[in-house]
Amino acid sequence: MNEPVKEVADRVLRDVAERENGVPGVVAMATDRQENLYEGAAGKRELGREEAMTADTVFAIFSCTKALTGVTVMQLVEEGVLGLDDPAKEYAPEISEIGVLEGFDDTGEPRVRPPASDITVGQLMLHTAGFGYDFFNYDLVKYGKARDVPSVVTASMASLRSALLFDPGSRWEYGTSIDWVGKVVEGARGKRLGKVMQERIFEPLGMNDTAFQLSPSMRQRRATIHQRGDDGVLNPLSGFELPQEPEQHMGGHGLYGTVGDYMKFIRMVLNDGAGEHGRVLKPDTVERMAQNGLGEMKIKGLPGVLANLTNDAEFFPGMPKSWAYTFMINDEEAPTGRPAGELGWAGLANLYYWIDRKNGLGGFWATQIFPFADPNSFSGYMDFETAVYDQMVRNQAA
């Protein structure tokens, strides 16, 4: 490992894991184009138990799933099986049944109308299709109660039969679009999404500990999700697990995996689509995935509507940010040192990553805490990313 990075990053991890009500445990890694230059772990897999966090700990990675689902679509585009301008209903017919929510009548009954146009595959990839998440949107909470729409963590088709918040293509709203992308991939391939990922991403990259369903070995190494209460105290949700015989493989959030596996995915992007055991994407496809797809439209902060699941959340407040297929782009240089135009995103249980194709650097920070945008975990991540740039870029330039 890179010794200057190790010294500073180890200190970041220890501090956030050892402070009172910090994080239960954390695994963080950083990589260049060739190999991991840092691997670290601190704290426990579950508070009150003895198992330490280790580099091979398994996490529910939530929305870090999205980028992998995006790759399965771009592989189909490469092969000419589908196009980003294709109507999504050609591959996922159920999407044509979803209407636009215009409001509620005096009795609380939703007012829904047909969308002005068909949803395209590209709009799903860019989060401009109209779908949202109830934990970031009050209207979807109200709609869900009126129409008995279950939570997306049920991994059910019923959870996807919510409403659009606007006509396709007119705004950006973060939500269940990538779950529908997974349905598109299944329709185009004739296989479940997990099988597609296994054959076309996990095997070429050597990602042996990533899946929608936990193997016995993965379950033994699984970290427990913790709930932070209003008093700041963390409580383990020992019995919480994403559905293990899921009706739907949720392309937006359903994977379990290790940080080491995700670093192999990040290196694939840094190496223009090449993996350890084979090519996953063509270089020009990786370039296309990394480009802003929103034009002049910008993404927005995410309001914490369901307080048990998320705080108000935004990367680099005040900085303009765009969306690619399927990553956030920081349009200006970030305070951490990440250059303008690079990639990143996160997962609901306070997992965060970045991919810097300019400098050939990437990193991942994994904890298991609700609600999202936990101040202790997120500030630790920012300190970790900053430490990597200080040692690998800023000091070398000085």
**What residues act catalytically?**
63, 66, 174
* Greatest Cα pair distance in the chain: 65
Minimal CA–CA distance to 27: which of 380, 398, 397?
380
Spatial neighbors of 57 by CB under 8 A, at least 6 apart, are 25, 27, 41, 45, 221, 222, 223, 258, 259, 366
Spatial neighbors of 122 by CB under 8 A, at least 6 apart, are 84, 85, 293, 325
Q: What is the DSSP letter of 302?
A: B
- Residue position matching structure tokens 């927005």: 300
What token pair was written down for 133?
């998440």
**Cα–Cα distance between 240 and 228 in angstroms, integer?**
14
Does residue 315 contact residue 330 with C-beta atoms inside 8 Å?
A: yes
What is the residue-wise DSSP string for 114-162?
--SSPPBHHHHHHT-SS---GGG-HHHHHHHHHHTPPPGGG--HHHH--
**CA separation, residue 381 to residues 77, 237, 252, 303, 373 (Å):** 34, 23, 22, 20, 11
**Cα–Cα distance between 66 and 125 in angstroms, integer?**
9
What is the residue-wise DSSP string for 274-301?
EETTEE-S-HHHHHHHTS--STT-----
